[in-house]
Amino acid sequence: HPLFDPARENPKCAELLRTMVTQYSGWHWHNSDTARVPSPPLAQRLGEIQAPTLVLTGSRDLADFQSIANILAKGLPNAQRETIPGAGHMVNIEKPEAFNELVLAFWSAR
């Protein structure tokens, strides 16, 4: 899937991704989702969440995930939006140093 293209470009990331996919049981494909759909939808209630939130994506993540991140960053009152250049969806294994730096800086500021 194109979601993982950036991770597959780096042999170390590709191996980690292969291990994760191989070890995944596929549970959600074979079982019914028992979660209840909240009303109103959670996307309409983001303003109620007061926890500091780091909304982090890679610049090469899919457009849908970029859009979701932008919605979260706009809707959450205490959100900080960051993008790691050159990383895709698996940002923490594709660019671990940049990921760790942003996360540690975010928590240090709290």
Q: Per residue in 2-52, pLDDT tens?
A: 999 999 999 999 999 999 989 999 888 888 888 888 889 889 999 999 999
C-alpha distance from residue 19 to each of 24, 70, 78, 83, 95 (Å): 9, 30, 35, 26, 18
What value, to the nearest 5°, has the Cα angle with vertex 72 and ends 70 and 73? 65
Segment 73-82 mean pLDDT:
97
Lowest-pLDDT range of 26-35, 84-93, 95-104:
26-35
Average pLDDT, the chain: 94
